[in-house]
Amino acid sequence: MRFIKSTTETVDKNINVYDNLDVPEDIKDDVINTKKTFNIKKYTHVRLSELATFCPREYALGYKYGKAKESYTEYPLMQQFEIGSALHFWYQNFSKVFKDVLYGNWKCWACGKLRGRDEPLFTTRDEIRKNPCEHCGASGEASFYHEYYFRIDEPYRVTGKIDGFILKDNKLHVIDFKSYFTKEDFPKLQDKAQLVGYMLFYDYLPDSLKLPLPIDLETGYLYYLSKKFSYRDSILCYAVTKEQKIADAILKNVSLFSDSVKTGILPPPFDICSRSNWLKGKAKNCFLRELCKQEYVGV
Ligand code: SF4
Ligand SMILES: [Zn+2]
């Protein structure tokens, strides 16, 4: 192990001078922050991006006992998330691919307000950038995509953030971006579930949260963006329909949690968790495993 202090000289309180140090990993960790990140998540609403993997009992327990899931993300993994987010951002704001088909709200980075005088404008990048900000007069070029966010308590406790909408056949379609390195069996079930979730729960939003244009709630699109060069597969697009089987499974699980919030009655544990004495399946990595077990066998 090398100790960076032994090869550096402190010339000012916070400034190190590196003498012939050719170990980039050491310098990296000394100058920038690649430490793991602490995350905390409350169990108040089901995130639609987690529909395929969430456990209704874990949410119900977390809500009932006011718990929050605490975890750490190592930087290499965080870096993958950040690269994915950067790709999203690029396609929403700079790539020519979506410049006149991607619809949404836009935020002015100069004043921080949503673009639009009385109501937020819901339009394309090409259109929004033609005019200066209605609030502060900053250049239209300073407008950036503002993802559509919603959170509801009734009749289902869900929250979601939608990557974008494209206009096709006079209707808006929900889209979601995924980045990938190696082509797999796309579209993945969890990605389909996320899109089906958006289409399913949009119907339940109050009018005040709904978008100003009609939405097609039967078909959405998943865009897989390649992180490596490929003539054939640089962008893959899959249409996702609101399959009844997936929609039923989602509603069943989300209802189990939403009902539990009202009644206080906990959903049963997964079979694999209870049969393995909370040692296998999802229990292995479940933040509330001990509480789940206590509640099941302890009374
Ligand atoms: S141990 Fe299993 S059943 Fe219990 S809360 Fe965790 S994932 Fe759900
Ligand atoms: Zn502005």
In a domain, 12, yes or no: no
Mean pLDDT of the chain: 91
pLDDT recorded at residue 23: 61
In a domain, 1, yes or no: no
Q: Give tens-digit pLDDT for 65-77.
A: 999 999 999 999 9
In a domain, 84, yes or no: yes
> SS in 3 state form for the chain?
CCCHHHHEEEEECCEEEECCCCCHHHHHHHHCCCCCEEEEEECCCEEHHHCCCCCHHHHHHHHHCCCEEEEEECHHHHHHHHHHHHHHHHHHHCCHHHCCCEEEEEEECCCCCECCCCCCCCECHHHHCCCCCCCCCCCHHHEEEECEEEEECCCCCEEEEECEEEEECCEEEEEEEEEECCCCCCCCHHHHHHHHHHHHHHCCCCHHHCCCCCECCCEEEEEEEECCCCCCCCEEEEEEECCHHHHHHHHHHHHHHHHHHHHCCCCCCCHHHHHCCCCCHHHHHCCCHHHHHHHHHCC
pLDDT bracket for residue 4 (50, 70, 90): very low
Main-chain dihedrals φ then ψ at residue 264, nearest 5 degrees: 80, -5
User: Which of 54, 286, 290 has the most ligand 1 atoms within 8 A of CB, as the residue to mutate?
Assistant: 286
pLDDT bracket for residue 174 (50, 70, 90): very high
Q: Give tens-digit pLDDT for 18-55.
A: 555 566 665 566 678 889 999 999 999 999 999 999 99
- Mean pLDDT value across residues 169-194: 95
Q: Is 55 in the pocket of ligand 1 (CB under 6 A)?
A: yes
CA of 287 to the centre of ligand 1 (A): 8
pLDDT recorded at residue 33: 86
Main-chain dihedrals φ then ψ at residue 250, nearest 5 degrees: -65, -50
Q: Is 292 in the pocket of ligand 1 (CB under 6 A)?
A: yes
Q: Comparing 18 with 275, which gets the higher pLDDT?
A: 275
State the closest ligand 1 atom to the C-alpha of 282, by its place in the atom list counted from 1. Answer: 7
Sheet bearing 158-162, strands edge to edge: 46-47, 158-162, 148-152
Give the CATH number of the domain where residue 94 resides. Answer: 3.90.320
In a domain, 32, yes or no: no
In a domain, 259, yes or no: yes
Domain range for residue 253? 37-267
- Six-digit token pair at 7? 């090869």
Give the whole-number percent of the chain exceeding pLDDT 90: 86
Q: How many domains does the chain have?
A: 1
In a domain, 226, yes or no: yes
In a domain, 139, yes or no: yes
pLDDT recorded at residue 20: 53
pLDDT recorded at residue 6: 42
- Mean pLDDT value across residues 131-155: 98
pLDDT bracket for residue 298 (50, 70, 90): low
In a domain, 280, yes or no: no
CA of 131 to the centre of ligand 2 (A): 11
Is 269 within 8 Å of 57 (Cβ atoms)? yes
Q: Which amino acid is at 292?
A: C
pLDDT recorded at residue 31: 79
Q: Is 256 in the pocket of ligand 1 (CB under 6 A)?
A: no
Q: Is 270 in the pocket of ligand 1 (CB under 6 A)?
A: yes
